[in-house]
Amino acid sequence: MIKDVLLNVLIILIPLVSFQLAVPHTYNEKKWFNPTVLFAIINGFSLFLCITFPVEMKEGYFFDFRAIPLAMSFLYGSYLVGFTTFGLYFIYRIFIIGTTGIFFGIVVSLAIILFCLLTYKAFHHGKLRKKIFLVIKMSLIIFLLKLARCAFNWHNWQMNAHDLSLMVLYLAVMIAAFALIIILVENYRNQQNKQMEQADKINSVGQLAASITHEVRNPMTVARGFMQIFQSEEYIPDDKKIFLNMMIQEIDRAQAIITDYLSIVKQDGLKIEQLNIKELIDSLGSVMNPFALLKGVELHYNTDQDLYIIGDQGKLKQVLMNIIKNAIEATPQGGQVTLSTIEYKNEVSIHIKDTGIGMTKEQLKKLGDPYFSTKPSGTGLGLTASYRIVEEMNGKINVESEPDIGTTFKLTFPKA
């Protein structure tokens, strides 16, 4: 019997866990993927397994945990999910099992549905403890219904102390399984919420940065203007003018960096224009070279040819900076990161090659999944955004990687 009980707990757990694994992919907004429908189908499937593999408490007398997937689809899904799951159950119950004992089955199901609908608000506004308390209540109602049915002697089953203790055991297992699932789902949801908040924070920080850089640029322009005026003054000796020159150059450099950052955080739609890949990569130097220097990594450029593609300059810069930054971060001190542009038939490729730590096959598979990051303070969003942007520009990203040898990101776009 314990084996059966464990099997049932697994049956209820597996679909829920797989649903949780499936959810992050909705981030990609694939159109064919509808989490609501998936949730209903998974719950229906779980219900189906619960009914098919019930726990035999006593010869000819079975218990199962069908209440759990049914309740879950109402509590965590919507009316649609709930009633779809219930419909699937109904069809299965009538057409496959037959109508014996259906009355009682429907009564229990309706009791569960009613309970879920009545407590829905309390359930979702309550803390974890309240939720568990509510499912205990629900389990008790189911238990009492079953007890009442036995009292009516439906199957000519004489209740004795042993049977009663079996029933209580069933109740205990049901509560434990219910609580376990609620805890797992809640834990997962909390984590997701935290990650979403984090992503939101990054987004708003980006927007703030855009406005701040704007404010910083104006006074810099004024200062630069005055320096230029001083430069043309005759009473300032030439050996001092050298310093003025240096100041102007440094301000120009700071402005270039700000411009690059601005182009990243600006959130406009896709601006389609002809882009010179070589110029674009060279312009990233002002931001990427200092970062490479800081990490002790050499940054090489193999970009002599002028190559053109069609795309959004700001967004492509964002993509390249993400990927180059990842490459530099993955490379230990003294390593190299090489940027090359290659022309092949009707396509233009940008290769970002590093001599870094590389990735395993498993890591490669997860690349681009939201929140996949191996860094302590990583967001795992950089590549997700990059893949999306490149796709929007009709390009593709291929990655080759060997652990301890290095990684090459190949971005390919149609030639303009």
Contact residues: ligand ADP, CB under 6 A:
322, 326-327, 330, 354, 356-359, 363, 367, 372-375, 378-383, 407
Q: Are the C-beta atoms of residues 143 and 171 closer than 8 Å to each other?
A: yes
C-alpha 285/C-alpha 287 separation (Å) is 5
Q: How many residues does the chain have?
A: 416
Min. distance of Cβ 288 from ligand ADP in angstroms?
14
Structure tokens at 175: 């509560």
Contacts of 311 (CB under 8 A, 6+ apart): 270, 272, 273, 275, 393, 395, 413
Site of interaction with Mg ion (CB under 5 A): 326, 382
Compute the least distance from the CB of residue 328 to ligand ADP, in Å: 8
What are 309's strand-pairing partners? 275, 415
* 208-236 as b/e: b if 16+ CB within 10 A: eebeebeeeeeeeeeebeebeeeeeeeee
In whole angstroms, the minimum distance from the beta carbon of 406 to ligand ADP comes to 7
Select the binding partner of residue 379 from ligand ADP, Mg ion, none (C-beta < 5 to 8 A, by kind): ligand ADP
Choice between 307 and 330, CB closer to Mg ion: 330
User: At a CB cut-off of 8 Å and minimum separation 6, what does 26 contact?
Assistant: 33, 35
Whether residue 342 contacts residue 351, with contact meaning beta carbons closer than 8 Å, is answered with yes
Q: Closest CB to ligand ADP among 94 and 405? A: 405
**Binding-site partner at residue 109 among ligand ADP, Mg ion, none, CB < 5 to 8 Å by type:** none
Taking the least distance from each CB to Mg ion, the nearer of 8 and 326 is 326
Q: Report which residue's Cβ sits closest to Mg ion.
A: 382
Q: How far is the CB of 369 from ligand ADP (least distance, A)?
A: 8
* Residues 202, 205, 210, 213, CA torsion sign: negative
Give CA angle at 118 (112, 120), nearest 5°: 90
Between 381 and 390, whose beta carbon lies closer to ligand ADP?
Answer: 381
Provide, rounded to whole angstroms, the least separation between the CB of residue 380 and ligand ADP: 4
CA distances from 330 to 61, 66, 350, 405, 406 (A): 61, 49, 19, 11, 8
Q: Which does 69 bind (CB under 5 to 8 A by kind): Mg ion, ligand ADP, none?
A: none
Query: Dihedral through CA 121, CA 124, CA 128, CA 130, nearest 10?
Result: 0
Of residues 108 and 337, the one with the C-beta less far from Mg ion = 337
Find which of Mg ion, ligand ADP, none residue 318 binds, CB within 5 to 8 Å per kind: none
Q: C-beta of 235: minimal distance to ligand ADP in Å?
A: 53
Q: Specify which residues 409 forms β-bridges with.
A: 352, 399
Q: How far is the CB of 298 from ligand ADP (least distance, A)?
A: 15
Q: Nearest-CB residue to ligand ADP?
A: 378
Whichever of 201 and 240 has its CB closer to Mg ion, that residue is 201
- Partner whose binding site includes residue 403, from ligand ADP, Mg ion, none (CB under 5 to 8 Å by kind): none
Pick what 359 binds: ligand ADP, Mg ion, none; C-beta below 5 to 8 Å, kind-dependent: ligand ADP
DSSP 94: I
- Selection from Mg ion, ligand ADP, none that 283 binds (CB < 5 to 8 A by kind) is none
Which of 84/318 has CB closer to Mg ion? 318
Q: Which helix (H) or strand (E) holds 57?
A: strand 55-58
Contact of residue 373 among Mg ion, ligand ADP, none (CB under 5-8 Å per partner type): ligand ADP
Nearer to ligand ADP, 159 or 405 (CB): 405
C-beta of residue 69 within 8 angstroms of C-beta of residue 85: yes
CB of 383 to ligand ADP, least distance (A): 3
- Out of ligand ADP, Mg ion, none, what residue 375 binds, judged by CB under 5 to 8 A for its kind, is ligand ADP
∠ CA(279), CA(281), CA(282), 5° rounding?
Answer: 65
What's the CA gap between 84 and 113, in Å, rounded? Answer: 12
**Residue 171 CB, nearest approach to ligand ADP (Å):** 46
By beta-carbon proximity to Mg ion, the closer residue of 228 and 374 is 374
In a 13 Å sphere around the CA of 261, the CA atoms on its Cβ side amount to 19
